[in-house]
Amino acid sequence: MPLILVLVACCWRLPAAFAQPDNTRNAATWYQRAFEQLEQFTPEEMEAISNFRSSPGQPPSPEVRALLNRAAPIVDSVIRASQQGYSDFGLDYSQGFDMLLPHLSPMRNLARLVQADSAMRLHDGDGAGAAERIGALYRIADQAGDDRILISSLVGRAVFEVAEQSAQMGFDRGAFDPAAASVLLKATRAFDQDDPFQTLDAILMEQTLCVDVMRDHFLSGDPEKRSGILTDLASDAGLGEQLAQLSPEEIETSLNQYSDLMEQFVVAFSQEDREVARAQLDAIAKGFESGEYGLIAQILTPSLSRIYDVTMEGKDKLHARIELLEGVTRGEVDVRTLTNAAVWYRRGIDQLPAIDDAWKQAIRTLDAAKPLEAERLAELSATADSIRGALDCFVTGSTVPRCDFATERDARETFIPRYAGGMRDGFALLILESLRLAAGGEVEASAQMLAAAFRMDAHLSDDHLLVSALVARDGFLRAAQAAAGVEQRHHFSETARQDLAAAIRRCGPGDPFGFVGAMSKSREYLRKALITPAPGETREVRESRIETWLGGLDADALIYLLAMADVLDYDLSPREPLDRENAARLDEYLLAETMDLAASDAPGLAALCREGRPEAFAIPETAQLVGAAARMAAARGDQWPTITWALQRAPSEEDGAAGEAARP
């Protein structure tokens, strides 16, 4: 059994006190105080905090805010701990396999708590406070390597990922100015740039511990020690039994082979050229599979290639983050270019409930091909101030180059993302305002609203979810109808026409409305959600069989499967749908009805999944209710007339002058 597995099994236990002195310059002292303070929170309260931190884009509830306010002293202790120069939990390395790492589990809970507190501060507009806490997360990740144990290094890598997510959330929201960025830069520069998570030290320590323990237990002549370690290793598929048959000379030889393996890994890990490192790791893997490194290596060695890959990925992220932060602090990178358009769209969606009822009614009954009737025009003009906040958010979001809707949903929101209905209404709001402005003679401003709608459409098309593609298609068609009507009735100026054409061209025809990308992403999600082991079948064969099945399904069938997955938990047991309210808002696709029908079919699909054959599920005819396949088939034809108009270069004044000069 690799030492890493032994330690994982033991690290949940938390003794009353750690074996290190109460030294305030030692980070462990402050962490221990935080651990003790953390005990005042129930598992249910910690779960509520964790649910908030994992719900991007959502404000903290009053209950969560109260919990985080209670946790302020804990966060202060963690920040104080992270500012110390070293972390020593007084680990007794002489215990070998019996050594406990009881601090790792509460350390991860502390990291989650600090992440939640930083998220609350981002929602409150406190960028400086959020940066202070995210800087602490980076320093926690750095200090974890001080244990010089592999599992600690991997926990440090995991905490680093938490810090990265939090930092990205701050940049998405435009919350960090150069001063806040400098706080993060100082924290990230503190890492060892070559081995950020002290993985090599951990590997060497693990090698030393394993060799010392094995020698002590097998070669000391103490039967009790030998019996004890064989008991620890007995679960390794019979390898423990084989180990029991080895002579002392064979044990020594096998230990030397294991040491040789680990030394070769250290050499590979230290290579600057990653292709060379990968070649050396491949050679080690082949030798390992052939038994070149002996029985003890087979028992003790963790997945070295995986450790290398995880470490290199973290190292690349660290260097990229440092480079970005340096650019921001030097003023070479404008933080506004780092924001996420999806955040602005969510802010706009959040303000839609506050708009006047006249606008809400107009959104529900919009006919983009027709001008506004006089009575409705008067109602909307009289209440136009009510839409300013939401409208400004949608327009601003459309001008932001980067858009990643994944930050505004959780990983399971593949059927109906929480923003789908709001984006549909956002398109309608922009189009209504364009019609209102055009009717009042403000044709330039009308064109700006339509251009924002087309830019927003390009962003949503890149979301690569099937419902997002459906909403993007309808938004595009409505904006195109409105643009054609306004141009016919009022005529765009050349400047307005060029701006509008530039926005339309962003809705590239390569994958109209993102249907193709959404099909691929849906199949990928379903492959992970529905595949379970089938008796007597390898993983490769099973995945190939399921991929073939999913590859033959059209958009309607995939949406129906997504709807069924939406009402099944991870263990395939029934659960409440994620967002029935949002489904009801998208009634033009009958998604609420689809959800009800899918809920009745989901148990049958779950039963087949448990048998390892989800492809035996018969997609019912009711799946065609959504009409996604027909919309996908028509997508290019729906888009092309408007794209063609945008690709045409309108005559400029220079063209006109040249034409006049050419006349006889």
Q: Which domain holds residue 256?
A: 208-312
Q: Which residues partner with 574 through β-bridges? A: 568
Same domain, 526 and 509: no
pLDDT at 298 over 90: no
Same domain, 461 and 528: no
The C-alpha atoms of residue 232 and residue 226 are separated, in whole angstroms, by 10
Same domain, 356 and 502: yes
In contact, 88 and 20? CB cutoff 8 Å: yes
The answer to whether the predicted template modeling score (pTM) of the entire model surpasses 0.85 is no
DSSP code of 58?
P
Question: Is 337 a domain residue?
Answer: no
Same domain, 506 and 550: no
Question: Is 493 a domain residue?
Answer: yes
Same domain, 20 and 169: yes
Mean pLDDT across the stretch 96-125? 90
Each as own residue / partner, the long-range contacts of residues 438-444 (CB below 8 Å, 24 or more positions apart, any chain) are 438/371, 438/486, 438/489, 438/490, 439/371, 439/372, 439/377, 440/381, 441/490, 443/486, 443/490, 443/491, 443/492, 443/493, 443/496, 444/493, 444/495, 444/496
Indicate the range of 117-131, 319-333, 601-615 predicted with least confidence. 601-615
Question: Is 261 a domain residue?
Answer: yes
Question: Is 327 a domain residue?
Answer: no
The C-alpha atoms of residue 434 and residue 125 are separated, in whole angstroms, by 32
Same domain, 36 and 168: yes
Which of 166, 200, 234 lies at the terminal end of a domain, its last residue? 200
Confidence (pLDDT) at 537: 67
Secondary structure of 197-213 as H, E, C letters: CCHHHHHHHHHHHHHHH
Which of 143, 174, 200 lies at the terminal end of a domain, its last residue? 200
The pLDDT tens digits of the residues spanning 385-432 come to: 999 999 999 999 999 999 999 988 888 889 999 899 999 999 999 999
Helices in 365-402 by DSSP H: which ranges?
Answer: 374-382, 388-399
Question: Is 663 a domain residue?
Answer: no
Residue type, 20: Q
Same domain, 446 and 549: no
Mean pLDDT across the stretch 630-659? 73
Q: Predicted confidence band at 534 (pLDDT cuts at 50, 70, 90)?
A: low
pLDDT at 479 over 70: yes
Neighbours of 317 (CB within 10 A): 17
Same domain, 362 and 487: yes
Same domain, 387 and 470: yes
Which of 294, 312, 330 lies at the terminal end of a domain, its last residue? 312
Same domain, 289 and 363: no
Residue type, 444: E
In contact, 562 and 412? CB cutoff 8 Å: no
The share of the chain scoring above pLDDT 90, in percent, equals 63
The pLDDT tens digits of the residues spanning 30-85 come to: 999 999 999 999 999 999 998 888 776 778 999 999 999 999 999 999 999 999 99
pLDDT at 320 over 90: yes
Identify the residue with better confidence: 26 or 534: 26
Question: Is 227 a domain residue?
Answer: yes
Q: Bin 499: left if φ > 0, else alpha if -120 < ψ < 50, else beta.
A: alpha
Same domain, 348 and 473: yes
Confidence (pLDDT) at 559: 93
Question: Is 638 a domain residue?
Answer: no
State how many domains the chain has.
4
The pLDDT tens digits of the residues spanning 489-512 come to: 999 999 999 999 999 999 978 899
Identify the residue with better confidence: 552 or 584: 552
The residue whose two tokens read 């799946």 is: 623
The H-or-E segment that residue 146 falls in is: none
Q: Which residues partner with 86 through β-bridges? A: 26
Same domain, 307 and 351: no
Indicate the range of 14-28, 192-206, 356-370 predicted with least confidence. 14-28
In contact, 480 and 644? CB cutoff 8 Å: no
3-state secondary structure of 310: helix
Question: Is 660 a domain residue?
Answer: no
